[in-house]
Amino acid sequence: MRNVSSIAFVVLVFLMVPVKSSLATGSLVQLLRDIPLPQGAAIEWVSNDVSHNGTELVIAHYDSPLSHQETIEFYRHVWPGDSNAPMPGFIETEIENWLLISRLSKGVNTVLQLDLSNSGQSTGFISIVDINTPVTVSTPANTLSGLELLSHTSANDEKSKSSLSVYQSGRSLETLSELMMGKFQGEGWQVVEVRPSSESKVVSFRRSDWGKLMRLDLVVSKSVSGGSLAVVNQVTYDG
């Protein structure tokens, strides 16, 4: 099983659509195992215990010797669209350096995302989420005032637990980063690295509790709509 820090981009893809959930995680795991694969392709679990805004999803790494176009043609054939469906059943799109192939069928959304920087073969992630029951995102009580939680994701694997939270604020980049740094330092986190730039500020923290190493990375960036966005990624390593 790969390190759960690999979930970051997969989860951000799901931030772009309203996510709903009703299937149990075990059912999603079986659905992912049943996904047809081209000859020579393989999947390796990233995590089968991920919660995004209260919604369970499963994620695996995808590796195939086929080119991107050959992979698209394979899934066009095995995932035919339903012309009578109210929403498109098969969507292809590009986001930054990723090619996304999304299939919606019987309330289950399957997303294959391929790394465009690796043109010789198809590598990336494949993930499944059920979209039947609406969920909501609520900001925790101990959050700094003026921060709105946009998304929260947690994942567990055999050796670590991780969480990824995305916030927005009307404060400036510098003000928000200083306030959040002060909050984390007050909780016992030690700053190990600060990487500022004109558009963002990255701060890495470390902490040890009861023999467990904990890592926290804070990224504060300017928001195109004004104010700032803050991403907090925390990982606790067992043992």
Model confidence pLDDT, tens digit, residues 101-155: 888 877 778 888 888 888 789 998 888 877 665 555 666 656 778 888 887 777 7
pLDDT, one tens digit per residue, over 36-51 is 999 999 988 776 666 6
For position 61, what pLDDT does the model report? 86
The more confident residue out of 140 and 176 is 176
Per the confidence metrics, is the pTM higher than 0.75? no
The more confident residue out of 92 and 80 is 92
For position 54, what pLDDT does the model report? 66
**pLDDT above 70 (res 25):** no
Pick the CATH number of 147-237 from 3.40.50.300, 3.30.530.20, 1.10.357.10, 3.40.50.720: 3.30.530.20
**pLDDT above 90 (res 65):** yes
Q: Specify the domain boundaries for CATH 3.30.530.20 within the chain.
A: 147-237
Residue 94 contacts by C-beta under 8 Å, 6 or more apart in sequence?
Answer: 100, 116
Q: Is 33 helix (H, G, I), strand (E, B) or coil?
A: helix
**pLDDT above 80 (res 53):** no
